[in-house]
Amino acid sequence: MLRGIDPAAAAVAGLALALRMPLLVAALPGVGNSDEPLNVTVGVRMASAGTFDAHSYRYPGLVYEVVAGTAGVFRTLGLHVSVHGAMRIENLGIAHTDSRLLMIGIRLVGAAASVGTCLLVWATVRRVLQNTRMETRWMRIAAALAAVTVAVSPLAAANSAYATPDVYGGFAVALTLYGATRVLTGDPYGELACGFGVGLALGAKYLAAAAIPVVVAYALSPGRRKDLLKVAAISAVVFIATTPAVVMHPGAVLAGMEAEAIHYETGHVGAEGSAPWYYLTALARDQPLLLDGLAVAVVAVFRAKGIIRSTLIVALAYAIPQFILLSVMTVRFDRNLVPLTPALAVAAGVAIPALFPRRHRGAVLALATVAAFLPLASSARLYPRLDERARVQAAAWVTRHIPAAQRVAVESYGPWLDPGRFHLVPLTFAADRPGVAARALILTQHAAGRFLADPEHHPREVAAYRELLERYRLAARFTAGSWIAVYVPR
């Protein structure tokens, strides 16, 4: 059995796993991601109530079912999962778990999906290039480098460690593209992979654009167009299985989708404006080879032939519409690139070795290898950033210097403080309450910092912070991760 494993694929999987495993315990028992606490709370309640109804559909149901399934497995094994202790939410981006093992189990599923995404990219590129006259050595190297771009991506690695839907969206898109290339090459079970991929994409993040490359693949394969109905049926079944409320409570699902659409259209302080440029620069920082590969792929569409050209059309049929959709939104988050990167990786892995002449292949390989591995250093340094030691240090300072039972005002993304020791005053943004009175005031980079870093666009909020700081003085500042500052009355 082991003899059938490609060493290059095993190496890519090992690299991806090595970068992701340490992140499973990052920050615990603190939970600082803004979405993770609510997702875990919803999933654990589903497991406790024995229901598939999440009652919350700004995200579809897949991530909630992963949490509920993990909690169910723990209970089957006799491990206690507390409904209230699984996630104690204090404020936006401030939560605490009494069930570290449960959180690690949930995150482990995401890490497995992320590693699976890398392997699907590898398998897709390899399958396409196998249908060309390319030498086996170059084919294997191209497939491995394409998978490496996802394996060492800091965005992909970081989001694999959160109980959030982006990592599952990336896996779903990679599975869809793998199925689409099986359709193009005439291999069996393409409709099964496409159906599961599209269904999971809808169940992860309502990624309807994932259906476009499937339709294009069948349009390019006239003899298999009748199978498109099978794909539609399979994807519908998978979507309903991940989000049963689409049948039981369609109004709730539509209301959730509408709420998220309004959120992305109306704005989110600190994460809005210039979306196209924001995503391009974020992609260039995260994995430069993908951006270069996209440019090569666009050229190769007009110069390549056969299966290479068809695959590029299919990959770009997802990447371009999805990027346009993200770009027209007011709100932008870099995590939205996670479901986009598998399509870019497939396009780069197929286009680069096909476009350049054989005599230049060695030089191109060297440049591509350097570009693919450039983000490795950033990915290797993710743990200290995600571990948010500044939060732990700030909490320790407050506990040591502020008497018990005193009022402590804490902004979003601040440290977790014992609610039994202090009278906590949660503040989304301290600028909203410049008159707040407390024995200690805690400001954070992810809250106050988003205004103070851009005073030109937020003059009202900056003025409120200045008014606030006329009554408080800086007592301590911690910078291990995002900065956190503790102020006390003057």
Q: What is the pLDDT of residue 52?
A: 86
pLDDT band at 135 (very low <50, low <70, confident <90, very high): confident
Q: What is the pLDDT of residue 267?
A: 74
pLDDT band at 196 (very low <50, low <70, confident <90, very high): very high
What letter represents residue 123's amino acid? A
- Residues 355-403: tens digit of each pLDDT: 876 777 778 888 888 999 999 999 999 998 888 899 999 999 999 999 9
Parallel/antiparallel/unpaired status of strands 440-444 and 407-411: parallel
The 3-state DSSP class for residue 453 equals coil
Q: What is the mean pLDDT of residues 316-332?
A: 94
CA-wise closest residue to 402 among 444, 440, 438:
440
Q: What is the mean pLDDT of residues 47-65?
A: 90
CA distance 174 to 200: 11
Mean pLDDT for the chain overall: 92
Q: Hey, which residues does 89 pair with through a beta bridge?
A: 95
CA distance 108 to 113: 9
Contact 65, 136 (CB under 8 A): no
Backbone angles phi, psi at 410, to 5 degrees: -125, 125
Q: What is the pLDDT of residue 3?
A: 55
Q: What is the pLDDT of residue 2?
A: 45
Q: Could you tell me if residue 93 is left (phi over 0), alpha (psi between -120 and 50 degrees) or otherwise beta?
A: left
- Residues 295-310: tens digit of each pLDDT: 999 999 998 889 999 9
Q: What is the pLDDT of residue 53?
A: 86
> What is the distance in angstroms between the CA of the first residue and the CA of the last residue of the chain?
70
Q: What is the pLDDT of residue 356?
A: 77
Parallel/antiparallel/unpaired status of strands 472-478 and 484-489: antiparallel
Does 489 sit behind a cis peptide bond, omega within 30 degrees of 0 on the bond before it?
no
Parallel/antiparallel/unpaired status of strands 88-91 and 94-96: antiparallel
pLDDT band at 203 (very low <50, low <70, confident <90, very high): very high
pLDDT band at 350 (very low <50, low <70, confident <90, very high): very high
Calculate the alpha carbon distances from 94 to 162, 346, 378 in Å. Answer: 14, 37, 25
Q: What is the pLDDT of residue 271?
A: 76
**Statement: residue 150 has pLDDT above 70:** yes
**Statement: residue 4 has pLDDT above 60:** no
pLDDT band at 1 (very low <50, low <70, confident <90, very high): very low
What letter represents residue 53's amino acid? D
Parallel/antiparallel/unpaired status of strands 423-427 and 94-96: unpaired
Contacts by 287-290 with C-beta closer than 8 Å and gap 24+?
287/149, 287/150, 287/152, 287/153, 287/155, 287/341, 287/372, 287/374, 287/375, 288/371, 288/374, 288/375, 289/145, 289/149, 289/348, 289/368, 289/371, 289/372, 289/374, 290/149, 290/341, 290/344, 290/345, 290/348
Q: What is the pLDDT of residue 357?
A: 65
Q: DSSP character for 34?
A: S
Q: What is the pLDDT of residue 96?
A: 94
